[in-house]
């Protein structure tokens, strides 16, 4: 089964929402129509023949351009109003800016005053040709005379004033009012901003002319400040007060309107991408989305959020939990520093666990330091935002709640998080930030198809797809994903999966460590045991017999170990079939051992094999077998004894080692063979080295050796014998 191309499930077209301004009153979603109409009335009702300059102040993305468009719509019904949009973005020097402004003004007026005998446009162009350069209005410019001559200034101030009066007379006689819109001033660089305001200062004195400038006053004041006074923002504000006769702050958008607008944009995204969200999931989203309300200050933020989702949702549509994706992308847009912290410190939010409920903790110092980093990250936000962020993170990352507040989170819930592809699932976390299924991760589309294969296809097809599964994810990841969906499988599907896993048993071999029950063998055996229980009881042993033919003794032993009845867990087999299961394993082990002793072939598993053998041995076959092995060579007594010594795994030693014998060791051996028999065999071996020396018990721990084991056994045996004699007497 090949990995599906994610694009197959994506819509034919993805519509990125352009951040265009509105141009009609019925498009107004933020109750600003009356504000625009009010400004239009001010311009209409003005009887003054003097020029006016209005400034509409608002931050980026707050809707200033839309207000200009609505003012323009309101003024369109007035024939005496000539509206001119001047774009300051196209010019890279002051001279070009100045000349373009007047040529735009001239062409617009000529178009408006078609019946006028004298072309006012020609007069304006002539007027502009004799203006002093803008640099004359800038302090400390060297050689202003030279700059003026370069522009060809030939007329006297008197002649220039006469030309201006002729232009104004034409405007008055025609009853025209000129409205000049200049937008996006705050997007220009510092020099360009300064040039635009020098232009307004120089030309803003024509009669019946109204300038409407839209910009962020804070940004513009910072750019104008270096021109005047102390060169700071306050100096810039002081200059604006001289230029802008009527400063008007853009009406603040109601928070409820912004939230409604954002939800509307989100609904458009979901509809365009054909993504369905359940009512419960939608409620989960809205329950915490209020956190972003504090940062949703402009319509542009909502558009930016929606456009981001239009791009990332198709990439991960079937590979993540969509609500979690919507929320973490909102964090990226509205709280970028917090987003970076989450991406860089996953262990603080995930707290990886094993199925046994064991937490793989961060070192104590690391956890404390990361918590401090998180607290420092929150300091930049208000107290309300901090509380909201914590609530959001508790919903997204249950482990964060545990890490931050030392509250236990039930382990059983972790499987649900993985099944739902939540961001708090370690298997899915990375793809929320990489926007793809990384190498070694299993695409959810693959898993869905594999589940269908298990239910509908034959064993050959299942085997092929399972091999592909292993190739994509690796043995350990396959096991973690199998645990997520194994409860959903039918009995026949479970059987096919069991056989496929068993056929690949060698890929699950791993070196056992300090916690041997966490080895891959043990994990896969646990999973198989769970899957086998999904079959009817009369079919289970037949499947086990089939598994024994395609796996090894060690693997079947692990399955057997998982077969015992635990509290609340059904036994894998009834009592008699369990004995048959044990015999199946032991017979295979004896057959493979051939002329060798069990411990020479199976080493550490010897005691388990004897334990299984004892469940059905009614004729003392174990004792006969052990004596036959040891009688053949007294040296085998040492090998037998060694494998009853406790196997110790320690972080202080690179490899596992056999520890000291205890009285419990002898009690264990006594279940299978007489201690006196072993004592006599070991005594013969000891006589060759220390025939007359009394045995002493020395604890050597990880330095344990065969000679000391013999000494410990003889010492403990005599102690046990003496104790027995005392009890008899």
Q: In angstroms, how far is CA 194 from the centroid of its own chain? A: 44
pLDDT of residue 661: 92
Residue 702 phi, psi dihedral angles, 5° rounding: -75, -5
- pLDDT below 50 — which residues of the chain? 2-10, 133-156, 353-361, 513-518
Q: What is the Cα–Cα distance from 585 to 580, expressed in whole angstroms?
A: 9
pLDDT at 727: 84
Q: Is 344 helix (H, G, I), strand (E, B) or coil?
A: helix
Distance CA 519, CA 510 (A): 6
Give long-range contacts, CB 8 A cutoff, 24+ apart: 322-325: 322/275, 322/277, 322/281, 323/277, 323/281, 323/282, 323/284, 323/285, 324/396, 324/421, 324/422, 324/423, 324/432, 325/423, 325/432
For residues 556 and 559, give the distance between their C-alpha atoms in angstroms, rounded to a whole number. 5
* Cα of 276 vs its chain's centroid, Å: 21
pLDDT tens by residue, 6-46 = 444 445 555 555 567 777 888 888 888 888 888 888 887 76
Contacting residues for 517 by C-beta, under 8 A, at least 6 apart:
356
d(CA 378, CA 605): 55
- Rounded to whole angstroms, the Cα distance separating 292 from 388 reads 8
Place of tokens 């087999």: 573
- In whole angstroms, give the CA distance from residue 708 to residue 660: 9
Residues 422 and 347: beta-carbon distance below 8 Å = no
Judge whether 462 and 453 are in contact, CB under 8 Å: yes
Model pLDDT, residue 355: 41
Cβ distance 427 to 480 under 8 Å? yes
Burial letters for 567-578: b for 16+ Cβ neighbours within 10 Å, e otherwise?
A: eeeeebbeeebb
Nearest in space to 521 (alpha carbons), one of 549, 554, 495: 554
How far is the C-alpha of 500 from the C-alpha of 458, rounded, in Å? 11
Q: Give the separation between CA 509 and CA 519, rounded to whole angstroms.
A: 8
Report the run of H or E that residue 214 belongs to, with start and end: strand 209-215
Q: How far apart are CA 296 and CA 258, in angstroms?
A: 7
Q: What is the structure's pLDDT at 577? A: 92
3-class secondary-structure state, position 394:
helix
Tokens (6 digits) for 719: 């102690």
Adjacent-strand bridge partners of 118: none
> Left, alpha or beta for 249 (phi > 0: left; psi -120 to 50: alpha)?
beta
Write down the pLDDT at residue 669: 94
Structure tokens at 317: 């549509």
In whole angstroms, what is the distance from residue 275 CA to residue 269 CA?
8
Rounded to whole angstroms, how far apart are CA atoms 87 and 97?
Answer: 10
- Going by their DSSP bridges, the two strands 52-57 and 209-215 should be labelled as parallel
Q: If you average pLDDT over every residue of the chain, what do you get?
A: 80
Tokens of 523: 């994990």
Give the helix ranges, DSSP H, for 26-152: 33-45, 64-75, 94-112, 120-129, 144-150
pLDDT in tens, 504-544: 988 887 655 443 444 677 788 888 888 998 899 889 999 99
- Non-local (6+) Cβ contacts of 403 within 8 A are 348, 349, 351, 367, 371
Q: Token digits for 587?
A: 């017979």
pLDDT of residue 460: 95
């Amino acid at each position: 089964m090949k990995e599906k191309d994610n694009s197959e499930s994506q819509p034919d077209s993805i519509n990125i929402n352009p951040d265009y301004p509105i141009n009609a009153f019925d498009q107004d979603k933020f109750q600003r129509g009356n504000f625009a109409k009010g400004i239009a009335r001010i311009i209409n009702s003005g009887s003054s023949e003097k020029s006016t300059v209005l400034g509409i102040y608002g931050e980026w993305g707050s809707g200033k351009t839309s207000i200009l468009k609505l003012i323009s719509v309101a003024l369109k019904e007035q024939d005496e109003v000539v509206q001119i949009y001047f774009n300051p973005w196209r010019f890279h020097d002051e001279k070009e800016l100045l000349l373009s402004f007047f040529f735009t003004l001239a062409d617009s007026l000529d178009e408006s005053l078609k019946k006028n005998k004298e072309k006012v446009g020609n007069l304006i162009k002539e007027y502009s040709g004799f203006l002093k350069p803008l640099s004359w209005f800038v302090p400390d410019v060297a050689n202003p005379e030279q700059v003026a001559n370069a522009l060809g200034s030939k007329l006297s101030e008197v002649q220039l004033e006469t030309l201006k009066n002729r232009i104004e007379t034409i405007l008055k006689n025609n009853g025209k009012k000129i409205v000049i819109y200049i937008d996006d001033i705050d997007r220009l660089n510092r020099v360009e901003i300064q040039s635009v305001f020098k232009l307004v200062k120089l030309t803003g004195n024509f009669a019946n002319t109204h300038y409407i400038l839209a910009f962020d006053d804070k940004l513009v004041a910072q750019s104008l400040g270096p021109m005047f006074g102390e060169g700071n923002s306050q100096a810039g504000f002081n200059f604006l007060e001289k230029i802008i006769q009527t400063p008007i702050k853009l009406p603040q958008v109601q928070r409820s309107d912004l939230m409604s607008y954002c939800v509307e944009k989100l609904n458009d995204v979901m509809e365009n991408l054909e993504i369905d969200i359940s009512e419960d999931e939608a409620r989960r989203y809205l329950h915490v989305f209020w956190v972003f309300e504090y940062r949703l200050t402009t319509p542009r933020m909502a558009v930016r959020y929606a456009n981001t989702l239009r791009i990332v949702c198709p990439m991960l549509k079937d590979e993540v939990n969509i609500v979690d994706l919507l929320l973490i992308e909102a964090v990226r847009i509205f709280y970028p520093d917090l987003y970076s912290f989450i991406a860089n410190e996953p262990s603080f939010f995930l707290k990886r666990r094993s199925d046994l409920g064991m937490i793989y903790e961060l070192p104590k110092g690391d956890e404390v330091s990361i918590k401090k980093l998180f607290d420092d990250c929150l300091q930049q936000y208000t107290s309300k935002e901090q509380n909201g962020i914590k609530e959001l993170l508790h919903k997204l990352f249950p482990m964060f709640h545990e890490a931050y507040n030392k509250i236990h989170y039930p382990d059983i819930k972790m499987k649900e998080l993985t099944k739902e592809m939540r961001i708090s699932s370690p298997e899915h976390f990375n793809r929320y930030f990489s926007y793809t299924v990384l190498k070694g991760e299993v695409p959810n589309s693959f898993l869905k198809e594999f589940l269908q294969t298990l239910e509908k296809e034959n064993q050959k097809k299942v085997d092929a797809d399972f091999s592909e599964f292993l190739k994509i994810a690796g043995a350990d990841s396959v096991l973690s994903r199998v645990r997520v969906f194994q409860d959903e499988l039918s009995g026949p599907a479970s059987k096919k999966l069991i056989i496929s896993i068993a056929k690949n048993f060698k890929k699950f071999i791993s070196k056992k460590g300090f916690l041997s029950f966490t080895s891959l063998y043990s994990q896969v055996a646990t999973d198989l045991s769970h899957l086998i229980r999904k079959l009817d009881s009369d079919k289970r042993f037949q499947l086990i017999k089939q598994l024994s033919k395609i796996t090894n003794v060690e693997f079947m032993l692990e399955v057997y170990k998982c077969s015992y009845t635990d509290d609340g867990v059904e036994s894998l087999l009834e009592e008699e079939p369990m004995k048959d299961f044990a015999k199946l394993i032991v017979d295979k082990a004896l057959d493979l051992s051939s002329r060798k002793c069990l411990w020479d072939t199976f080493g550490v598993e010897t005691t388990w094999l004897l334990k299984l053998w004892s469940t059905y041995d009614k004729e003392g076959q174990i004792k006969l077998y052990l004596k036959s092995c040891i009688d053949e060579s007294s040296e085998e007594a040492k090998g037998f004894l060694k494998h009853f010594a406790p196997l110790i795994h320690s972080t202080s030693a690179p490899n596992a080692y056999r520890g000291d014998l205890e009285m419990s060791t002898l009690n264990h051996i006594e279940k299978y063979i007489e201690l006196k028999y072993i004592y006599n065999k070991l005594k013969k071996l000891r006589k060759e080295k220390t025939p007359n020396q009394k045995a002493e018990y020395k604890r050597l721990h990880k330095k344990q050796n065969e000679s000391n084991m013999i000494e410990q056994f003889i010492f403990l045996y005599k102690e046990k014998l003496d104790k027995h004699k005392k009890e008899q007497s």
